[in-house]
């Protein structure tokens, strides 16, 4: 079994990864499992930089192959904001963050409210160069929140093909199309190769 540290404190994310990596001969460990309390500050200017900072630091601390991701929302009319600042946009969290985003887009018509979610995954293992994958999901920012599922900006993120917001989807529906799922599928390919290279296949 190839051990893999998944560097997140978000239990929802861990579940998503466990589902996508099912069938690989890989044993997922969390930061809690390996006793790491240190927080890595996300000081990078890009999602890839933040993912790398986390993957590299936690790999060094644990000595284990490590997966870390960074994700966020980019709104075209706001020049890509909130981007890497998605978690602390407007200095507020939770529902207030949705209000803040709506305020920024107050006079912007539907056709100019295009946005995308981006997820970048960095995979680090001792002695090798870091490998990256990326996934995106396109949508439109709604005029008011709809749906109770998901987290973060999901109630405002309308997916044109699905005719609903991400928060109106079941977890299965969201996981079939999400930026994180696309990046994780690509990561699965890399992990399958690592497994063979390490003789754990
Ligand atoms: P960790 O850093 O512990 O992994 P996190 O929840 O902070 O967990 P990210 O840094 O990857 O996750 O995401 C930053 C923010 O981007 C997050 O707080 C949300 O506001 C937003 N976001 C990311 N993915 C999202 C999704 O699938 N749906 C809604 N919002 C999302």
Q: What pTM does this model have?
A: 0.95
Closest ligand 1 atom to residue 166 Cα is 28
Reading the block at residue 147, the tokens are 């749906």
Mutate to test the pocket of ligand 1, among 44, 50, 152, 156 (most ligand atoms within 8 A of CB): 152
Give the residue whose CA is nearest to atom 21 of ligand 1.
Answer: 72
Cα distance between residue 28 and residue 11, in whole Å: 13
Domain count, the chain: 1
What's the pLDDT tens digit per position in 27-82? 999 999 999 999 999 999 999 999 999 999 999 999 999 999 999 999 999 999 99
3-state secondary structure of 24: coil
Range of the domain at 54: 2-198
Q: What is the CATH number of the domain that holds 27?
A: 3.90.950.10
Mutate to test the pocket of ligand 1, among 71, 85, 88 (most ligand atoms within 8 A of CB): 71
What's the distance, CA 27 to chain centroid?
20
What's the pLDDT tens digit per position in 171-193? 889 989 999 999 999 999 999 99
User: Which residues are CB-neighbours of 106 under 8 A, at least 6 positions away?
Assistant: none
Closest ligand 1 atom to residue 178 Cα is 27
């Amino acid at each position: 079994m190839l051990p893999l540290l998944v560097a997140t404190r978000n239990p929802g994310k861990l579940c998503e990864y466990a589902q996508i990596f099912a069938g690989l001969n890989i044993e997922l460990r969390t930061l809690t499992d390996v006793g790491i309390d240190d927080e890595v500050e996300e000081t990078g200017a890009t999602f890839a930089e933040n993912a790398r900072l986390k993957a590299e630091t936690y790999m060094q601390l644990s000595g284990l192959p490590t997966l870390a991701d960074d994700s966020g929302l980019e709104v075209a009319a706001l020049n890509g904001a909130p981007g890497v600042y998605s978690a602390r946009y407007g200095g507020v969290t939770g529902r207030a963050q949705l209000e803040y985003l709506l305020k920024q887009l107050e006079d912007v018509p539907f056709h100019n409210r295009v946005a995308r979610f981006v997820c970048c995954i960095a995979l680090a293992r001792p002695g090798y160069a870091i490998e990256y994958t990326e996934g995106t999901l396109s949508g439109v920012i709604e005029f008011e929140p709809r749906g109770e599922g998901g987290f973060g900006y999901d109630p405002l993120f309308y997916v044109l093909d699905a005719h609903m917001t991400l928060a109106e989807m079941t977890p299965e529906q969201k996981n079939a199309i999400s930026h994180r799922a696309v990046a994780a599928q690509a990561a699965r390919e890399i992990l399958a190769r690592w497994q063979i290279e390490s003789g754990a296949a």
